[in-house]
Chain A
Amino acid sequence: MTRDLRRFLLSVAAACAVSLAVPSPGAAIGVDRPLPDPILEARARAIHKQLRCLVCQNQSIDDSNAGLARDLRVLVRERITLGDSDGEVLDFIAGRYGDWVLLKPPLDVRTLVLWLGPAALLLMGAGLAVTVLRRPRADPELASGPLTTEERARLETLLEHGENTS
C-alpha cells in the first residue's frame, strides 16, 4: 500500500516536472536551461553577468526575467557550445547591440573619460588638499614659531600683573 502510494506520488511529481519543462509554444529561441557541462555553464553564467539587459537596463541578463534577456542567455550558451571563446561571445552580442550592452565598457578613446575620470578627480582632490594644507598661513600674527623678544616681554608682564595692566 505504501509502495503504491509512493509510486503514485512519484508519477505525479514527474508529470509536474515534465509539464514545467515544456516551453510555451513558439515563444523562445531555445530553452533557458543550464548547460550539462558545469565548466561551460560557469563560463556562460560569467558572460551573462557581464551583459546588460536591454529591457531593464540596470540588470545583467543573468538577473533579468525579460524575454530578450532569456533569449540572449540562450544565445550565449549556444555560442559557447559552438566553441566560441568568451571574447568572441561578447563581441557577437556587442556587434548587434553595441558596447552599450557590456556592463564593463572597453577602454578606448570614447570611454577614456569614464575610465580615467575618477582617478583624475582623486588626484586633483589630493593635489588640492596637499596645496591647501601646506600653504603658509595668510595671517602672520597666527604664524607659529618662537616668540619674539617683544612678545616674550609682553607675556611676562601679563603673567605678573594680570590683563588689566596691558
Chain B
Amino acid sequence: MRIGHTLPLGLFAIVAVALGVGLTLDPRLIPSALIGDPIPDFSLPPVDGRPDGLAAADLRTGEVAIVNVFASWCGPCRIEHPLLMEVARRGAVPVHGINYKDLPRNALAWLERYGDPYRRVGSDRTGRVSIDWGVYGVPETFVVDRRGRIAYKHVGPMMPEDMHQRILPLVRELQGG
C-alpha cells in the first residue's frame, strides 16, 4: 500500500481511538490541582450550636484525617452519610466536616436526624474557604496525610467501594508510613 492510502487510514485510526477513550472519561471529574499540596490556611467557626470549628491547625497534628464537605441541602450527601457514620464508629481515622453554604439550624437538624460522624465541623457560610480547598460542588471528600498535605480527593458521593477500596486503604497506608 502506498502512503497516500495508509496515511488517512492511520490518522482515522488514531483519531477514532482517541475519541473512543475520551468517551469513557467522565467530564465532570476535574483533576484536583491540590493533590500533594499543603492544606490551605483557614479557620472556620463552629456551626452555631456546636462547640468546635475547624482550622488548618486541627489538620496539622500529625494524624491522617478525612475532611468531608457537606450541606444539609445536598441530596447526594445523604447517600454517602452512612459510610461516614460507619468510619466514625470504627474510630480508625478522624472525620472532620466543612459545612458548605448552609444555615446553622438546618445543618444541626440534619446531623440530628442522620447522625453526626464529625469530630470537628467548620461552618463555611460564604463558601470562601471551600474555594481555597478547590471545592466545586458538594459532597467532596479529602484525605489529609500526617504532614498536613492533601493526599486524595473524591468528588461526589462516596460509594461503598470508593470508601473501602480506595479511601480507607489509602488512609491505612498513610498511617503506616
Interface of A toward B, CB cutoff 8 Å = 26-29, 54-55, 57, 67-68, 71-72, 75, 94-100, 121, 124, 128, 131-132, 135
Cα A28 to Cα B11 with chains together (Å) = 49
Cα A67 to Cα B136 with chains together (Å) = 10
The A/B interface has a contact count, at CB < 8 Å, of 62
Interface of B toward A, CB cutoff 8 Å = 3-4, 7-8, 11, 27-28, 30-34, 101, 103, 125-128, 131-134, 136-137
Cα A135 to Cα B3 with chains together (Å) = 12
Cα A99 to Cα B32 with chains together (Å) = 10
Tell which of B4, B8, B27, B126 touches A57, judged by Cβ atoms closer than 8 Å. B27
Cα A94 to Cα B30 with chains together (Å) = 12
Cα A98 to Cα B153 with chains together (Å) = 14
Contact present for B126 and A97 (CB under 8 Å): no
B123 nearest in chain A by CB position: A26
CB distance from B5 to the nearest CB of A (A): 11
Contact present for B8 and A128 (CB under 8 Å): yes
| A residues in contact with B3, CB < 8 Å | 131
| A residues in contact with B136, CB < 8 Å | 54-55, 68, 97
20 of the cross-chain contacts (CB-CB < 8 Å) are A26-B101, A27-B101, A29-B126, A29-B127, A54-B30, A55-B136, A57-B27, A67-B101, A67-B127, A71-B128, A71-B131, A72-B131, A75-B131, A96-B33, A97-B136, A98-B33, A121-B11, A128-B7, A128-B8, A135-B4
Contact present for B31 and A100 (CB under 8 Å): yes
Contact present for B103 and A55 (CB under 8 Å): no
Cα A128 to Cα B99 with chains together (Å) = 59
B27 nearest in chain A by CB position: A57
